[in-house]
């Protein structure tokens, strides 16, 4: 379990994502209008936010602007531009890990709903989302799993 | 986001796992020695526990027997036999989801260490484990991510 | 505080509950109709679930079946059949301990309501339930106690 | 489940505990020296603290005096004098409820150890303490139960 | 970082607040009607509760009286009389620290709303409250900050 | 409590911090040596990190570089450069709010120690830090306050 991993260490510090920079230079980009934000993190974050959360996530972020515009910017630039846009883990796994964490926290229902929808949007099957939540019964207890499943139901089977 | 998923619903209640039953009937099973436990959940759980956590997890479970033998059995039968052995999600994703949840809980360092080692054992790359923990800075805050990373370091780079 | 307890250790690993097994063999059992589930954990779990939570708990479990039938089964077989049905602690104390834990978690209101009703059903006095929650002000803070008391009010004094 | 409890409501606001007042008036009390604190909450709290936690709890409270004497006083006066000394729930149940809550919190190991010892001191059997913790696997997840059991082991089976 | 603070230690155990006692003796006090409670902690607590939370906090406490009159008294006597009334930290900082803690807990929305309003009442600017919550994105994660901001919005911009 | 705050809203979206930008343009800046990092968030973050946490915080961040260099950068750029460097709340209040939050979380002892030392470094009195933690007994329970005080003791009175 030991030194075998030390050899792998030089590999996993990932190079800084450069697609954003490229986009800001590439006039032909179909998303060139986003680049008017003059910041690569911004354009990368906006694109990632839209690809994962679609309209609902963008609306949440816009809703924060009245009271806390900087928080809205951090979500775009840091959460999505710096973190969620990273290579090294595919989007489906990222969404399932977020669903696991939000189920464990147990007090973030609005975010859980956004990320259940996001998981579906990036290609997770409903079955996979439910599997993650069932597994949380083991690690976080049955109430956490049951309450998270209520949120999944709202996302999967809206009235 | 709506009724499109309703159609998928008949698919995702998974059939009960039958490999355990089969194993207990099938003499030719390469794992027939485990089947001496006379209980399908038990044999499936023991096999899954060993495959994921190796000696360290088995030792943890054995260590519980003196004070709480039933808790040890539940870990084998329920946590591993009923839940972690399920199909529907690959083992790597299950371990990464567990790592996300344990990072979110923030008070389960022994289990986090076992599951970081388990993640490596089932084929996750160190880089993927670290990616999940970095992502938790967004959802659970930096202290949670930093402290989880300390546990990863112990598992990856033991002194 | 020490070795005096070591002598007691052989006593406290409890024998496996046998009432369920007995019931499945005993035709004269007044609960023989439940036994048609052909599984002792199942029949024991269903009986315990009904005795503690009555219709409301059974309805919650049924409500899980559409999306996660296995979670519903685990609640019956594991949570109630394996755990809550155990001897070694009377039902009133088990319900009060659950109320303490759910107050501490602070994010499991639906379960807290079910177990406040369950505590009343198994014979706890309203005063005892409230005492447990008041005590939580010391261990979990006043917001946790106040918010749990709101749930108690809904169970005790429905509008 | 409804109006039946409303009739019981006049009963459960408990009268103020008067044993402390009595003690401060009763010269023959074997604990008259404690009463020199000139405060009934204080004498009631000190007596309750000693009866439940013995030397270890008193030492913890004394250890707080250097930095936070008022916190030490609040533990005596409020936690033990106002809350834990209350009638309406027997001491064994109070300790088991505290153990359930501290297991749920998952980050209060020193307090959990004090209250496991306190539970034994007020007459809980080791088996009952372990039963409460096993039950927490259902409500708080297996890591919480396993880690609490480690604390129980230290209290029951000190090296 | 060391012994320099030891010299300051004799200073920081604070003398018991005496304003309450004074008020109970002073007939000319503009708050003499409160003093009819014949208990200094009580009068100090009621005054502090009213000064910080205004009508909304007083209403919350009154609402607890039907089921748990002693909890209501503890909030007045202990939470506000003993703790929140203390000198040593100005009221604005106390409210901002409470807002930070409630944001971290993440499951105490009613209390967060009361204390956002309380922070405004004791002179915090909206900007300062929002700053504290933005800072929590770092320590508790974005969901905690976003959900706390929703509560702030209700307090600042009621519909 | 209402529309009076709406009028203040145009005030509290704070202008983007410009000291960093200015510094990178202004050769005469007394902190020009930091600016060699070629990134305004970076220089602002490094300066703020050093001013608040001194050597201990910088060491923690460096310690993360082996496994997660990007996490180290985010702490500098986002946590300190974007968030903690903001105007709108003085540094002392920011540290006390962080101490409140970390006490509430209850599982972030290393970070709590860093920020207790940081609070002292930016000018908080020991008494003020202890006041915040005492106040947490009300909101998070006594175990949280007692355990946080243990961390304060290590920072104030190292052996």
For residue range E32-64, what is the model confidence (pLDDT) as tens digits? 333 334 469 999 999 999 999 998 888 999 999
Residues 6+ apart with CB under 8 A from D152: B67, D116, D126, D129, D130, D133
**Residue B130 three-state SS:** helix
Average pLDDT over residues F99-123: 97
How high is the pLDDT of residue A78? 98
DSSP line for F65-129:
TTT-HHHHHHIIIIIIIIIIT-SSS-HHHHHHHHHHHHHHH-S-HHHHHHHHHHHHHTT--HHHH
Contact F9 A66 (CB under 8 A): yes
Average pLDDT over residues F14-40: 37
- Evaluate whether D131 touches C88 at the Cβ level (below 8 Å): yes
Helices H, strands E: what count in chain E? 8, 0
Contact D143 B108 (CB under 8 A): yes
| Statement: residue A38 has pLDDT above 90 | no
For the CA atoms of F43, F46, F50, F55, what is the dihedral angle to 10 degrees? -140
How high is the pLDDT of residue E39? 61
Nearest chain A residue (CA) to F86: A70
Q: Distance from D16 to chain F by nearest Cα, in Å? A: 22
What one-character DSSP code corresponds to residue E36? Answer: G
Contact D135 C97 (CB under 8 A): yes
Q: Sign (positive/negative) of CA torsion F50, F53, F57, F61?
A: negative
Average pLDDT over residues E68-75: 97
What one-character DSSP code corresponds to residue A38? Answer: -
Report d(CA B69, CA B72) in Å as an integer: 5
Q: How far apart are the first and last CA of chain B?
A: 50
Nearest to C75 among A106, A142, A153 (CB): A142
Report d(CA F45, CA F43) in Å as an integer: 5
CA distances from E62 to C130, D74, E31, E40, E77 (A): 17, 24, 20, 20, 14
**Better pLDDT: A24 or A49:** A49
Q: Which two tokens stand for residue E57?
A: 């906090």
How high is the pLDDT of residue E8? 47
How high is the pLDDT of residue B137? 98
Contact D134 C83 (CB under 8 A): yes
| D33 band by pLDDT with thresholds 50, 70 and 90 | very low
How high is the pLDDT of residue E104? 98
Average pLDDT over residues B107-112: 97
Interface probe for E, chosen from A56, A82, A107 (most Cβ of E below 10 Å), is: A107
Nearest to A78 among F9, F78, F86 (CB): F78
What stretches of chain E adopt beta strand conformation (E)? none
How high is the pLDDT of residue A5? 57
Looking at A113-127, C48-62, D23-37, F35-49, which range is the least confident one? D23-37
Nearest to D13 among E9, E69, E83 (CB): E69
| Statement: residue A26 has pLDDT above 60 | no
How high is the pLDDT of residue A39? 61
For residue range F112-131, what is the model confidence (pLDDT) as tens digits? 999 999 999 999 999 999 99
Looking at D20-24, E124-128, F87-91, which range is the least confident one? D20-24
How high is the pLDDT of residue F57? 87
| E4 band by pLDDT with thresholds 50, 70 and 90 | low
Interface probe for F, chosen from D56, D68, D147 (most Cβ of F below 10 Å), is: D68
What residues of chain C have any CB closer than 8 angstroms to a CB in chain F? 136-144
Share of chain A above pLDDT 70, in %: 75
Report d(CA E20, CA A159) in Å as an integer: 56
| Statement: residue B48 has pLDDT above 70 | yes
Nearest chain A residue (CA) to B86: A131
Weakly modelled stretches of chain C, pLDDT under 50:
1-3, 6, 8-38
Contact B144 F108 (CB under 8 A): yes
How high is the pLDDT of residue B83? 98
Average pLDDT over residues B98-113: 98
| Statement: residue B97 has pLDDT above 60 | yes
How high is the pLDDT of residue C158? 77
Q: For residue A83, which residues of chain B lie inside 8 Å, CB to CB?
A: 134-135, 137-138
Nearest to E100 among F78, F88, F97 (CB): F97
| Statement: residue A25 has pLDDT above 70 | no
Q: Which two tokens stand for residue D53?
A: 């936690």
Residues 6+ apart with CB under 8 A from A17: A44, A85, A86, A87
Contact A131 B6 (CB under 8 A): no
Interface probe for E, chosen from F86, F93, F110 (most Cβ of E below 10 Å), is: F93
Average pLDDT across chain E, whole number = 82
Alpha helices in chain D (DSSP H): 3-6, 19-25, 40-64, 69-74, 91-105, 109-121, 126-140, 142-156
Subunits with 3+ C-beta pairs closer than 8 A to E: A, B, C, D, F
Q: For residue F145, which residues of chain D lie inside 8 Å, CB to CB?
A: 71
How high is the pLDDT of residue D140? 98
- Evaluate whether B126 touches A5 at the Cβ level (below 8 Å): yes
Contact B71 D134 (CB under 8 A): yes
What residues of chain D have any CB closer than 8 angstroms to a CB in chain A? 136-144
How high is the pLDDT of residue F36? 37
DSSP line for C85-147:
T-SSS-HHHHHHHHHHHHHHH-S-HHHHHHHHHHHHHTT--HHHHHHHHHHHHHHH-HHHHHH
CB pairs under 8 A between B and E: 20
| Statement: residue E75 has pLDDT above 90 | yes
CA distances from A132 to A64, A135, B97, E90, F156 (A): 29, 5, 7, 46, 44
Average pLDDT over residues E12-23: 33
For residue range A71-107, what is the model confidence (pLDDT) as tens digits? 999 999 999 999 999 999 999 999 999 999 999 999 9
For residue range B69-86, what is the model confidence (pLDDT) as tens digits? 999 999 999 999 999 999
Q: Distance from F134 to chain C by nearest Cα, in Å? A: 12
Nearest chain B residue (CA) to C11: B67
Decide if the complex's ipTM is over 0.85. Answer: no
Average pLDDT over residues B31-39: 40
What residues of chain D have any CB closer than 8 angstroms to a CB in chain F? 60, 64, 66-68, 70-71, 74-75, 79, 102, 105-108, 110-111
Indicate yes or no: pTM above 0.90.
Answer: no
For residue range D110-150, what is the model confidence (pLDDT) as tens digits? 999 999 999 999 999 999 999 999 999 999 999 999 999 99
Contact C9 B67 (CB under 8 A): yes
How high is the pLDDT of residue E5? 57
How high is the pLDDT of residue F10? 36
Report d(CA D20, CA A40) in Å as an integer: 69
Subunits with 3+ C-beta pairs closer than 8 A to B: A, C, D, E, F
Distance of alpha carbon B122 from the chain centroid: 10
Report d(CA C40, CA C111) in Å as an integer: 25
Contact B137 F71 (CB under 8 A): yes
For residue range B56-67, what is the model confidence (pLDDT) as tens digits? 888 999 999 999
How high is the pLDDT of residue C32? 30
């Amino acid at each position: 379990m030991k030194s075998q991993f030390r050899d792998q260490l030089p590999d996993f510090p990932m190079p800084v994502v450069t697609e954003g920079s490229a986009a800001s230079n590439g006039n032909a980009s179909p998303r060139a209008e986003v680049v008017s934000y003059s910041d690569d993190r911004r354009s990368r974050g906006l694109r990632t936010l839209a690809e994962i959360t679609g309209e609902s996530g963008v609306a949440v972020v816009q809703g924060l602007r009245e009271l806390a515009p900087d928080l809205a910017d951090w979500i775009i630039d840091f959460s999505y531009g710096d973190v969620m846009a990273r290579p090294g883990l595919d989007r489906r796994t990222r969404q399932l890990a977020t669903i696991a964490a939000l189920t464990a926290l147990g007090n973030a229902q609005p975010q859980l709903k956004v990320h259940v929808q996001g998981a579906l949007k990036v290609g997770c099957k409903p079955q996979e989302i439910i599997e993650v939540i069932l597994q949380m019964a083991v690690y976080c207890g049955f109430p956490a799993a049951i309450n998270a499943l209520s949120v999944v139901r709202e996302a999967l089977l809206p009235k």
